[in-house]
Each structure stands twice: as C-alpha cells, then as structure tokens.
Structure 1
Amino acid sequence: MKNYILLLLIAVCFSCKNEKTTENISNTEVSNTKLTADDIINKSIEISGGEKFKQSSLKFEFRDVYYQALRKNHEFLLVRILVKDNDSIFDMVSNVGFERYDNKDFVKLEDSIAKTYEASVNSVHYFSVLPYGLNDDAVNKILLTDEHIKGKDYYKVKVTFNENGGGEDFEDVFVYWFDKQSFKLDYLAYSYNEESGVGMRFREAYNERYVNDLRFVDYNNYKTKDIEVELGELGKAFDNNQLELLSKIELENIEVQLINN
C-alpha cells in the first residue's frame, strides 16, 4: 500500500513541468523597533522551517486518515487517502485542480461536491504547516494591537483572503498571535461560514516538535458560548478562561523528506 501511494504521488507530481522561482523569504534578522505584519510573518516562517517547506515531502495521519504533501518550488500536490477494507479513495489537490480516484479509477464528481472535498483537503494541509502559507499572493495581512496572553506578549496579525486565489473559503477571517520573543505562532482564531453553520474557533498550539528541521504543533481547539464575542477578542477570552475546549487537533506519525533541486 505504501509503495503504491508513493509511486502514484511521484508520478503525478513530477509529470508537471518544473519551474524555478526567484521568490525568497528574507533570512535577515528583524531588528526594527516597529515591525510590520510582513516582518513578523517572515520571521515566524523562517524559524519554523522557511524555504525547506518549498522543497519537501510530508506524510502524516490525522483522525485515522492518511495525508501527503509534495511541494517543489511553485508545484504542489496535496493528498488525502481514505482506506476502508481493500479500497482506497485518493483526493488530490494540485496546480491543475482537484481530482478523486477510487483505487486506480478516476471518479467524476459534480462541481459542488468536488469543491467541498477540495476545501476539506486544503484545510487540513493548511493548518498542518502554519505559518507557512501566510505569504501566498491571495493573503492580506493587517497588524493589530499587541496582546498579553498567559503571561507572554504577542504580536497580533489579522489575515483575510482575496476571492481570486483565496480558495472556496476565501471569506474566512483569521487572527494569529506570534510570541514577541521567539516569533513562534502560539495561538490562532478564525471565523467560518459554511453550509453546516457559522461560528468561530480559537486554537492553542502545544506539543511542538521539529521533524527534519520543520516545525509542527498540535492544537487545543476551543469554542465560545458567548456569540457576542468578536473574533479579535478571543485571545482575551482565552486568557480569562472563558472558552470551552471542543476537540484536539493532533498530527501523528509525521515523516519529512527534503527534496533537492
């Protein structure tokens, strides 16, 4: 099974034409007293693995589902593998769009269903490598007022997305809290508007580990009972122990291979 998956992903990913990129994340130490949102996010990405994310093959499990991500410069392939008995469903998101395979057979889906599956795959992969991805072209960043949470000082950045390139959930709004000393991403909050309902979530990072120089964390996932609380105020609500633990977001069996040009 593992060999079949690996061969399939390699065949799909590297059948595309390789492209070289001149885009670089600055490795310069941030020393200005007045930092911009870009400064903070650049530094956070750098200490979390930086350029190595762009040349990587990742594997992990999340809630008994297999995930793989291949990134090589501007090319990417994000995969979810659902295994039941002797059948395997492959959901794939790449530069060319979304595709589903039942074992080796291509599955034709209605556009609305395909978009739902694509958003689901994107979501897990998006959260798995944060803050990587926050410099994408569709991302808009606004620096908010610093905040104090659980005895530490944090930079606070609001993120929105352009409709063009922002994905199915481009209307979602995120807030990120970066430790002012380490620049690591410790907390995030987001609002969502889906068919299943609207709401907000607040996540607390824990279980930090580096796998082949890339940083990964798990999250405590919180909700609020007070619908009057605004998204940007969830940090204060957490600091005051006013949020309710809903679930845990845990990545298991993480494997990382770095890819050479």
Structure 2
Amino acid sequence: MLIRLFPFLCLLFIAQSCSGQKDADPKAAEIVRQCVEVHGGRNYRNFDVSFDFRAFKVQLQHKGGKFRYERSTKDTLGNTIVDILTNEGLTRSINGKAQTPEDKYRESVNALAYFALLPFKLTEPAVNLKYLGETSIDKQKYDKIEVSFDAEGGGKDYKDVYCYWINQQTHTMDYLSYATGGPRFRKATKRTTVGGIIFQDYDNYEIKDTTLSTQDYDRVFMEGKAVLLSKIEQTNYVSHK
C-alpha cells in the first residue's frame, strides 16, 4: 500500500501537542487522554527510536518540544536517499547531496510518523474529537471516536474524517479507519514497547463500499466483508536513549 497524503499535523510543536488539545467534546478528549497514557504517556515528549518499515530505515525523535523524523532508503541504482522532517521543514539528500524537496516527500514522511505515533498524534491542536458512542467487536466493548481537523494546521487533507476504536477495558487503540486513498480499516495486531512507547503492527483491510462513512467500517469488518489488503509491519526496533 502506498502511503498517501495525511494531515500535516507534525509541524506544530510537540509541547503544544501535550497541552493544546481542544476540549469541545470532553468525553472524547478524556478517552483519548487515557489511551495516550496507556500507549506511552510522557514518554512521547522525549524519545529516540529507530525501526525498519518495508524498504525504509526510520528514526523518530522528540526532545524539548522539537521533533526530528528521518527516513532513509536505497533506490534500484544503489543511491542512498535520506529525508529528514523537523519543526523547520524537510531536507532531502541523495548520496549526501542536498536536493530541492517536494511536498509529496514531506507529507509521506509525516504520514509514516503519524501512524507510527498514534494515538499520541490525536492530541495535536488541529485535531477535533467527537464521541460517537459504544460498540462491540469480537466480544470486546469499544468507545468510538471520530477525528476531524481544522483547516488551519490540518494540512491539505483537513476535510478527511477518521475513526478510532478505543478498548474500554485496556484503553488501547485497537482499530482505526480512514478513506483517503481508498476506504481502509486497520486492526492492531502485534504490539512492541520501545522506550516506554507502544508501537503497533496492523492488518490493513479494504472496504469495498465507498459510500459508507468511516465510522461504519467496523460493521463491514464484523460481517466478514472486509478484504485483507496488506500487513503493516515494523521491525528491528532500537531505543537510542
């Protein structure tokens, strides 16, 4: 699956993320707060973790309100390509030579970090949370949270609407859905704790009915009509702290 364009939230300061969450829906905000605490809490503020994702070497860092997300790979000719996204923007190099970065590279690095750092990314100031009620999946009870974004700070795809399923007992984020690039429903599978932060692998399902709202994708999954499209797996984790 190609990484598509997701809200460019990460250029907001990490310090804002910890304190700037809007409480327009206090119930949804509290559920997300508990979820973030279980997945890593304060460890998200200062960490340095690397891992492999498909053909990429990835290193994600937060420190003192700053972030640095690095993605490196080799192309078919053996050239080393490095993209580094920070609070100041994106730099791109090929074999150590600086390039003029394109927006698509910035947004793809951001998308990679966005998914890897869920649910922490749901605390950023441009995020709007809405409680949609309770539901059950595989005999587990979940709180369903709708996520939308402000036009300012929400990026190119700010009109997108996502949905997250938070386990009422464990407070973990077990499922998520989105429609950007095609309707998708993800189920968390393997969990790995590195530097006090939980990182998750996913089974990535395709939802054939493009007329459905993202909040209804769980129904298709429970009916057995979701098609397993790919597996989202990260390996070889290292904490550098």
Under TM normalisation by the shorter chain, which class is it?
0.7 to 0.9
Q: In 2 relative to 1, CA 168–86 (structure 1 residues): closer, same or farther, beyond 3 Å?
A: same
Q: Which amino acid aligns with 1:103?
A: N
Q: Distance in 2 between matches of 1:20 and 1:143?
A: 24
Q: In 2 relative to 1, CA 255–20 (structure 1 residues): closer, same or farther, beyond 3 Å?
A: closer
TM-score, normalised by the number of residues in structure 1: 0.80
2:63 to 69, 72, 77: 72
Tell me what 2:7 maps to.
Answer: none
Runs of 4+ in 1 over 3 A off after TM superposition: 19-25
Question: Would the aligned equivalents of 2:16 and 2:125 in 1 still touch at CA under 8 Å?
Answer: no
Measured against aligned partners, the alpha-carbon deviations of 1:158-203 in whole angstroms (never above 9, x if no partner) come to: 00111222233322211000000111000000121xxxxx521100
Tell me what 1:115 maps to.
Answer: 103
| Aligned-residue offset at 1:54 | 1.3
Gaps of 5+ in 2: 1-12, 20-24
- Structure 1 window deviating more from structure 2 (54-63 vs 220-229): it is 220-229
Measured against aligned partners, the alpha-carbon deviations of 1:14-34 in whole angstroms (never above 9, x if no partner) come to: xxxxx9959757xxxxxxxx9
Tell me what 1:4 maps to.
Answer: none
Q: In 2 relative to 1, CA 174–64 (structure 1 residues): closer, same or farther, beyond 3 Å?
A: same
Supply the RMSD in Å over aligned alpha carbons: 2.1
Tell me what 1:15 maps to.
Answer: none
TM-score, normalised by the number of residues in structure 2: 0.86
Measured against aligned partners, the alpha-carbon deviations of 1:37-95 in whole angstroms (never above 9, x if no partner) come to: 11011111101111111101110111121111111132111111012465311111111
Matched residue of 1:145: which SS?
strand
Q: Which amino acid aligns with 2:99?
A: V
- Structure 1 window deviating more from structure 2 (86-95 vs 143-152): it is 86-95
1:55 paired with 2:46, answer yes
Aligned residues, how many?
A: 223
Q: In 2 relative to 1, CA 207–58 (structure 1 residues): closer, same or farther, beyond 3 Å?
A: same
| Aligned-residue offset at 1:209 | 2.1
Q: Which amino acid aligns with 1:251?
A: Q
Measured against aligned partners, the alpha-carbon deviations of 1:134-170 in whole angstroms (never above 9, x if no partner) come to: 1101111011021111111100100011122223332
Gaps of 5+ in 1: 1-18, 26-33, 193-197
Tell me what 2:94 maps to.
Answer: 102
Between 1 and 2, higher relative CO (CA 8 Å, sep ≥ 6) is seen in 2
| Aligned-residue offset at 1:212 | 2.9
Question: Would the aligned equivalents of 2:14 and 2:62 in 1 still touch at CA under 8 Å?
Answer: no
1:240 to 205, 223, 228: 223
Q: In 2 relative to 1, CA 181–93 (structure 1 residues): closer, same or farther, beyond 3 Å?
A: same
Q: Distance in 1 between matches of 2:209 and 2:16?
A: 46
1:144 paired with 2:144, answer no
Where in structure 2 are the equivalents of 1:1-261 lying within 5 Å? 21=15, 36-84=27-75, 87-109=79-101, 114-192=102-180, 198-258=181-241
